[in-house]
Amino acid sequence: MGLPMSDPTAWATAMNNLGMAPMGMTGQPLLPDFDPALGMMTGIPPINPMMPGLGIVPPPIPPDMPAVKEIIHCKSCTLFPPNPHLPPPATRERPPGCKTVFVGGLPENGTEQIIMEVFEQCGEVIAIRKSKKNFCHIRFAEEFMVDKALYLSGYRIRLGSSTDKKDTGRLHVDFAQARDDLYEWECKQRMLAREERHRRRLAEERFRPPSPPPVVHYSDHECSVVAEKLKDDTKFSEAIQTLLTWIERGEVNRRTANNFYSMIQSANSHIRRLVNEKAAHEKEMEEAKEKFKLALSGILVQFEQIVAVYHSASKQKAWDHFTKAQRKNISVWCKQAEEIRNIHNDELMGIRREEEMEMSDEEIEDPSEMKETEESALVSQVEALKEENDSLRWQLDAYRNEVELLKQEQGKASRDEDTTKEQQMKLLQQALQGMQKHLLKVQEEYKKREAELEKVKEDKLKIETLLENLKEQQSMADEEDKEGDAADCQGNESSMSRVCACSQEKECPVEKTLSNSPVKSEREVLLVGIISTFLHVHPFGASIEYICSYLQRLDSKICTAEVEVLMTRLQNTFRQELSGVGASLEKRWKFCGFDGLKMT
């Protein structure tokens, strides 16, 4: 944007109209050496607002010098600067990435063309949104153009040469917050963050150690190459790493077992080499120690000679002939030499003490070391024999594997037949085992019943003996009391009736047990009552395991077979039913005692 000033009187008149003294750019009164061709005073370079890095924003002015703005002439309007003594116009906080400005105080007759004419000199205008209330929003292409537009804040605008109020106004330019500006700023920040992450990643990759070389896949050719490398001392480390990776990958199988065993054997052969290298290094270390000890002893001898020279020089014969400075230097040198000699002497004595301690330990441990050496020799021989035995065994295993593979290829059909026979044999064995278990159960039940019968017989004999004794007593009483009273006779008769009743009651369980009733003891009666109550509570039935688990809480000696046999005997009281389909088929017991009563 140019700032022409062809007539200095017009400049002075405009400033007087605004109530300001005619001032130049430096704040001084206008001088007579004004050059109208330059539009500036003589000796001052013209300011171009479109200069790079400058624009409309003026250069920094010292705080003691007031900033002065110039008149701006456009095609259809004129902009007059504000009073320089007034404070700068207030602005809001700048939003991030602001490219849009608010322009207020426009003339009522102002059009978008006039606004474009004024603000396009600040930079490329993308859009103008004008309102009917004398303000508008202008969006620029770049952020720095907003600073140029803010420079025009406070200017008075006049359309043409008219003095009408509708043709005049005072511009107020401020930052405006727009979504498009914020979105572009966020996109730019994200792009900068991506670039920063990319630079950081490149820097990390630059300092990252290189990855190890990839290990080739196993093949016969690569196996032979690795086997050759294992034999070479220089390439041993690379080859052993490849072998380790192959083994961890699971490349070892029956076909490749011999190849891997040969490679492992060649790797084992390097142990002797490593042991020899270690022994050589230990020998070199011992030689270096001996050299160091000899050199240190020679140094100590020379120190002793130097200290002897100092002591001889400090004697009376030679000491009197030296000056004071010379005597002082000799005494200082003697002290230093003695200190250094003592330090080295202590070091040599420490080395000798260590050697003596090692020698004493060796003398103490000589017999044990002899034994250890003999044992180590025997162990090494045993290990060598083991290695040979292992190699032979591996070879035999390899041949066996080959034979087994041939047999597998030839005898698949025969193996199928063998498997079917084995399955049949297993089924028969299982059936026999089940029969044996059933026979054992039957034998146990038979023994229990025999024991119960023996008990019943014993009870019967006891009752018969009791009856005979009672009859004898009754006959004796009859003979003695023939002459007794009728009351006594009645008492005897009542006693006889009671005895008979008791004998009948004792004979009843015997007769019941001897009869063919399904319940044969009081324990079974109790079990039947408890099971009936339990199944009456479960109308849909319950499995034998569920029933036994409940009974075992009352008596842990109850077994499943006993309960199942008892329930199968009582068919009118308990009924077994099958419930479920397929794999969920289950046997359930139900209580049917009431059905039996109805039928009877």
**Overall average pLDDT of the 275-299 stretch:** 89
Distance of CA 76 to the CA centre of its chain: 74
Encode pLDDT of 110-127 as tens digits.
889 999 999 998 999 999
Distance, CA of 77 to CA of 116 (rounded, Å): 12
The verdict on pTM exceeding 0.85 is no
SS3 state at 116: helix
CA distance 559 to 545: 10
pLDDT of residue 56: 39
- Choice between 505 and 173, residue whose per-residue pLDDT is larger: 173
CB contact at 8 A, 218 and 246: yes
Q: Is residue 507 scored above 50 in pLDDT?
A: no
Task: Give the rounded percent of residues in the chain with a pLDDT score beyond 90.
Answer: 16
Mean pLDDT is lowest, of 19-23, 43-47, 251-255, for 43-47
Instruction: Answer whether 201's CB lies under 8 Å from 114's CB.
Output: no
**Per-residue model confidence as pLDDT tens digits over 256-282:** 889 899 889 888 888 888 888 899 999
- Do 156 and 78 contact (CB within 8 A), yes or no? no
For 536-560, the pLDDT digits (tens) are: 888 888 888 889 988 888 888 888 8
> What pLDDT does 99 receive?
93
pLDDT at 25 over 80: no
pLDDT of 186: 94
Give the residue-averaged pLDDT of 499-519.
48
Residue pair 238/204 in contact by the 8 Å Cβ criterion: no
Give CA–CA dist 524/527, Å, rounded: 5
Of 269-283, 499-513, 573-587, the one with minimum mean pLDDT is: 499-513
**Long-range Cβ pairs for the range 17-22 (8 Å, 24+):** 18/80, 18/82, 18/83, 18/156, 19/83, 20/83, 20/84, 20/85
Question: What is the model's pLDDT at position 147?
Answer: 92
Range 320-329 average pLDDT: 86
- Measure Cα distances from 116 to 106, 120, 121, 327 in Å: 12, 5, 8, 102
More confident call, 317 vs 80? 80
Task: Grade residue 495 by pLDDT with cuts at 50, 70 and 90.
Answer: very low
pLDDT at 20: 46
**Mean pLDDT for the stretch of residues 337-342:** 87
Q: pLDDT tens-digit profile of 50-106?
A: 444 434 344 444 444 345 788 888 888 999 999 888 888 888 999 999 999 999 999
Q: What distance in Å separates the CA atoms of residue 447 and residue 515, rounded to the nearest whole number?
A: 19
- Range with the poorest average pLDDT among 56-65, 392-401, 414-423: 56-65
SS3 category, 181:
helix
DSSP track, 35-56: ETTTTEETTSPPP-TTSTTTTT
The token pair at 172 is: 């107020």
The pLDDT of residue 445: 87
Comparing CA positions, the residue from 109, 125, 119, 120 lying closest to residue 152 is 119
